[in-house]
Structure 1
Amino acid sequence: MFKQSGVVPYRFQQGRLELLLITSSKRKRWGIPKGWIEPWMSAAESAAKEAREEAGVLGKVQLPAIGFYEHRKLGVPCRVEVFLMRVDTVLETWDEADRRQREWVSLAKAMKRVKQTELQQLLQRMHRLDERYTLMA
């Protein structure tokens, strides 16, 4: 099984949790930034690189990973290790801006847009983050 890493970019706007979803480059399905892990990078470093290239966002990837999900890419099985990243900077231009859409959405909307069941289950874990933030605010 091939290894990939991905990131769930998030921020709080006016006290509300928002997640950044992006479309796939070809099929235009909603998902998260993810990609192959470069041999010289950790999974977390690779996830941050994908967030910059695919979604145009910068921030600190949080350890440990929140989990993983499996999918097929180019006909091969892949396991995606998924991290959270609180976004510090949203770039106006980025590497894949011409091939992807990005949109900040609520957790509920993100869970409806994402079609992969395992990724939806990982997003459910964001409820805990939202609840902790609300208690702190």
Structure 2
Amino acid sequence: MKSQVAALCWRMREDRPEILLVTSRDTGRWVIPKGWPIKGKSDPHAALQEAWEEAGVKGEVCADCVGFYAYDKRLKDGSTRPVVVSVFPVAVRKVVDDFPERRQRRRDWVSPEEAARRVDEPELQALLAAFHPPSRATGPDDRT
């Protein structure tokens, strides 16, 4: 089974956490930024890189994975491949409008409960609904 990394991007608003969702490029469904591991980067910092490319955020990534979810990745030939995704929280410090995939995605800040309702994957729904901001984060990777 293939593995990916994902960024659960969050911020505090009025003492409550909000989660950033983005739309997928192919179907337009709501997801969290994710991608394949990046050679030379730890999994948490690869997730941080995906957050930048897909959502235009900078922040601090927590080195501790908060959970996993599985989904079937649709390939260009129409077939699917099972993928397991490791999820790393990212405390968002900056959001910009000029980022690599800005013309391919929409983004929206929502409550953890609303985020859970919008995504399709049951395991990701459970992770989002139960999300509480972590107390530890690591700084951005110097190589980003």
Query: What TM-score, normalized by structure 1, do the two folds share?
Result: 0.89
Written as runs of structure 1 = structure 2, the 5 A alignment for 1:57-68 is 57-68=57-68
Aligned counterpart, 1:95: 100
- State the 4+ residue runs in structure 1 displaced beyond 3 angstroms: none
Counterpart Cα distance in 2 of 1:112 and 1:39: 33
Structure 1, gaps ≥5 residues long: 133-137
More helix by share: 1
Question: How far 1:59 sits from its partner (Å)?
Answer: 0.5
Counterpart Cα distance in 2 of 1:63 and 1:43: 8
Query: Secondary structure of the residue that 1:64 maps to in structure 2?
Result: coil
Aligned counterpart, 1:107: 112
Aligned counterpart, 2:70: 70
2:29 equivalent to 1:29: yes
Q: Deviations over 1:62-116 (max 9, x none)?
A: 1210011111222221111001111000012110010000000111211111111
Percent identity reads 40
| Alignment-mate amino acid for residue 50 of structure 1 | E
Question: How far 1:124 sits from its partner (Å)?
Answer: 2.5
Counterpart Cα distance in 1 of 2:97 and 2:104: 14
Counterpart Cα distance in 2 of 1:129 and 1:34: 19
Query: What TM-score, normalized by structure 2, do the two folds share?
Result: 0.85
Counterpart Cα distance in 1 of 2:3 and 2:105: 23
Question: How far 1:14 sits from its partner (Å)?
Answer: 2.2
Aligned counterpart, 1:5: 5
Structure 2, gaps ≥5 residues long: 136-144
Counterpart Cα distance in 2 of 1:35 and 1:47: 7
More strand by share: 1
Pairwise CA RMSD: 1.5
